[in-house]
Amino acid sequence: MGLVDQLVNQPHYTLVNQPRENDILSHKELFDSIPEEYLSHKEKYENAIRKTVLYYRLMQKYQNYKEGSTILDETRANYRNLVSFAVFKDYPPLMLHNGMFIPAIAGQGTPEQQKHWLKRAKNMEILGTYAQTELGHGTFIRGLETTAEYDPSTEEFVLHSPTLTSYKWWPGGLGHTVNYCVVMAQLYIRGRHHGMQPFLVQLRDEATHMPLPGVKLGEIGAKLGLSTVNNGFLAFEHHRIPRDRMLMKNAQVLKDGTFVAGPSSKLAYGTMIYVRVIIVNGMANLMAKAATIAVRYSAVRRQSQIKPSEPECQILDYVTQQHKLLICIATSLAFSTCARWLWDVYTGVMGQMESGNMDHLPELHALACSLKVVSTMDVSGLVERCRLACGGHGFMHSSNLPYTYGLATAACTYEGENTVLLLQTARSLVKAWQKGSKGKPLSPTEAYLMDKSPVPKWENTLDGIIAGFRRVSAGKVQDCVSKIDKLVKMGTSYEDAWNQTSVRLVAASEAHSRAVILATFRSEVSRAAAALSPPLSRVLHQLVHLYCVYWALERLGDLLLYTSIAERDVQELQQQYEDLLQKIRPNAVGLVDAFDLRDEILNSTLGAYDGRVYERLMEEALKSPLNAEPVNQSFHQYLKPFMHGKL
């Protein structure tokens, strides 16, 4: 489907768009009579499990989940995530079951292992998570301490957590929910280290759910958000598992302990690439949700007057409010187009790798890293901006903006902390620069780095801005390479030179990402718009234009350094931007309505379609348990004696 069909004609994910009787969201038992904010930590988790079971039963009933459905279906069905947001304001305890446990088996298991375990996992006969991070290590995977020692005499692996810092720490659902998991552990055979490998490990008895002997489990405690994900810890005490529990699609261990290496040790990291690709689309969904809430509220809320002689105006009529929010609409579209484009790159590379061609894996890794970073960074910042744009009511949990912020900002850390991933992309860019400088061909998304033509006259057009961002990226990469070379010539080690240049490397990596995103957004919309009505095509091009001009103004310093942009161009750009705000304002509400997110999915007093904001805020307030009685018992217990000098 082209971009705009997905926007305008977007059929709700089949679950929510089926005839009423089949509509998962029509099952009111899925929703909370008492807002979960008023539940205890333990009650929240137990309530989330209650809803999870209901939700998945309905999913299985309505979704006629096809056995062996490809990961692609999962990704395109990302709207299911939005439906699950309707039921769970935070992520469900089984987020990792679908989000990583199943993909890890699909991506790392042999056909036989997939056949056996995927069926059980998809039918929810077993529940799993992905346990890689440890108390002492998250980023530096090679530093992870959990060991898997192969014992050829019994054809078993012995899993062990040698230190407190080796305890697996963070995996979603690990605390009390799942009974299996994919554990990433350092493989040793006869004392020889064979790198990080994936192991499918049973953690709890399938009947009693008790932890198995040699397995220590628990949850890690309260967090900023994702309060129902049940992130947990796991330690092994010389825990034995059969040889066939190592997921052996890439590397194998034969019965006698012979290790057969895969085509690349990095294939064991494949699940992370997949999730980073998925996260970009997830961010687009989160942005659509927050933009819908904030724009609709800004159309309902009237505050102050633009002219003393006129009544209070919609706050959306303030240009500052348009500046805050219209970029959010464009950002959601930008990341949903980039997500689909990145998914096609991903499936293409996976297809090539199936036939042994690994050539494009490094480019995919670099793209997945940089787009995961920029989408999570931008959306976290803009969701917080949506909250602030709604004033006090945005601070209410019932607005659903604080929860949405928690979901977005968590993604800046998980699946690869953002700084670290930008440095990964920088590594790829520096290597590309060095390769290109020797006349070797570069990958399609990095080829612009070798554009040695003279810096052209700046043009305030989409082509001009996109070309400008490419100049910025290429210039930054070149500066990094020069600084590293200079330091190395002065006797600094390459590693120290890299570290001393890392602030610039991160900036170069972000600039590269912006160049890729602007170009992809623009080309994807142009492709889709050709099949659209002129009015629709016009508004979408306005959003692309707004997005490009917004980021040009946000990155003026870089453009002034690396392009020929002049003061008069900047003045003109600023005027272009303000003109675009004015043009898009009349369509703002229509555009967020076109995200087509039902009230149950928005889960927001401020964003409901009927605009009854004040009535909903009051309805939610009255649900507070404190409002059940006019005088709380603490008055008699504490305040009254205190106020009468008796405490």
Ligand X SMILES: CCCCCCCCCCCCCCCC(=O)SCCNC(=O)CCNC(=O)[C@H](O)C(C)(C)COP(=O)(O)OP(=O)(O)OC[C@H]1O[C@@H](n2cnc3c(N)ncnc32)[C@H](O)[C@@H]1OP(=O)(O)O
Residues at the site binding ligand X, with contacts judged by CB under 6 A: 81, 95, 99-100, 130, 132-133, 138-142, 172, 266, 269, 272-273, 275, 278-279, 282-283, 286, 361-362, 365, 407, 411, 414-416, 420, 424, 427
The two tokens of residue 491 are 């006797």
Q: Considering the complex, what minimum distance in angstroms separates the CB of residue 540 from ligand X? A: 24
Is 415 annotated in the active site? yes
Of 315, 306, 226, which Cα lies nearest the Cα of 613? 315
What DSSP element (H or E) covers 398? none
252-253 and 147-151 strand pairing: unpaired
CA distance 640 to 364: 66
CA distance 279 to 414: 10
Binding-site member from 253, 373, 410, 462 for ligand FAD (CB under 6 A)? 410
Q: Which does 226 bind (CB under 5 to 8 A by kind): ligand FAD, ligand X, none?
A: ligand FAD
CB of 234 closer than 8 Å to CB of 216: yes
**Residues contacting ligand FAD: total by CB under 6 A:** 22
What is the pattern of x (binds ligand FAD, CB under 6 A) and - over residues 126-145? ---xxxxx---xxx------
CB of 631 closer than 8 Å to CB of 643: no
**Of these residues, 134, 363, 415, 510, which one is catalytic?**
415
* Burial tier of 179 (Cβ tally within 10 Å: 0-12, 13-18, 19+): buried
Q: Considering the complex, what minimum distance in angstroms separates the CB of residue 181 from ligand X? A: 11
Binding span for ligand FAD by CB under 6 A among 234-242, 419-427, 490-498, 555-563 = 419-427
Q: Which does 232 bind (CB under 5 to 8 A by kind): ligand X, ligand FAD, none?
A: none
CB of 581 closer than 8 Å to CB of 602: no
Q: Annotated binding residue at 133?
A: yes
What is the pattern of x (binds ligand FAD, CB under 6 A) and - over residues 513-552? ----------------------------------------
Residue with tokens 């297809």: 351
225-264 binders of ligand FAD (CB under 6 A): 226, 231
CA distance 100 to 133: 13
Please provide the distance, in angstroms rounded to a whole number, between the alpha carbons at the two ends of the chain: 70
CB of 183 closer than 8 Å to CB of 198: yes
Q: Which does 278 bind (CB under 5 to 8 A by kind): ligand FAD, ligand X, none?
A: ligand X
72-101 binders of ligand FAD (CB under 6 A): 96
Binding span for ligand FAD by CB under 6 A among 232-240, 406-414, 456-464, 601-609 = 406-414
Residue nearest to ligand X (CB): 282
The reply on whether position 345 binds ligand FAD by CB under 6 A is no
Indicate the residue among 139 and 258 with the shorter CB distance to ligand FAD: 139
Q: Which does 131 bind (CB under 5 to 8 A by kind): ligand X, ligand FAD, none?
A: ligand FAD
Q: Which residues contact 157 (CB under 8 A, 6 or more apart)?
A: 148, 149, 150, 151, 187, 199, 240, 241, 242, 243, 245, 246
Binding-site member from 109, 172, 394, 607 for ligand FAD (CB under 6 A)? 172
The two tokens of residue 255 are 């019965």
Q: Annotated binding residue at 70?
A: no
- Phi/psi-derived region of residue 52, left when phi > 0, alpha when psi is between -120 and 50, beta in every other case: alpha
Q: Where are the alpha helices (DSSP H) in 88-168?
A: 95-96, 102-108, 111-122
The reply on whether position 413 binds ligand FAD by CB under 6 A is yes
Cα separations (Å) of 247 from 236, 271, 350, 484, 594? Answer: 19, 12, 18, 40, 43
Cα 146 from chain centroid?
A: 27
Q: Which does 460 bind (CB under 5 to 8 A by kind): ligand X, ligand FAD, none?
A: none
DSSP notation for 179-192:
SEEEEEEEEEETTE
Q: Considering the complex, what minimum distance in angstroms separates the CB of residue 340 from ligand X? A: 14
Q: Considering the complex, what minimum distance in angstroms separates the CB of residue 297 from ligand FAD? A: 27
Binding-site member from 38, 269, 318, 414 for ligand FAD (CB under 6 A)? 414
Q: Considering the complex, what minimum distance in angstroms separates the CB of residue 575 from ligand X? A: 36
Q: Please enumerate, by residue number, every residue annotated as part of a binding site for FAD.
A: 133, 172
Residue ranges binding ligand FAD (CB under 6 A): 96, 129-133, 137-139, 170-172, 226, 231, 410, 413-414, 416-417, 419-420, 423
Active site residues: 415
Q: Where is the binding site, in residues?
A: 133, 172
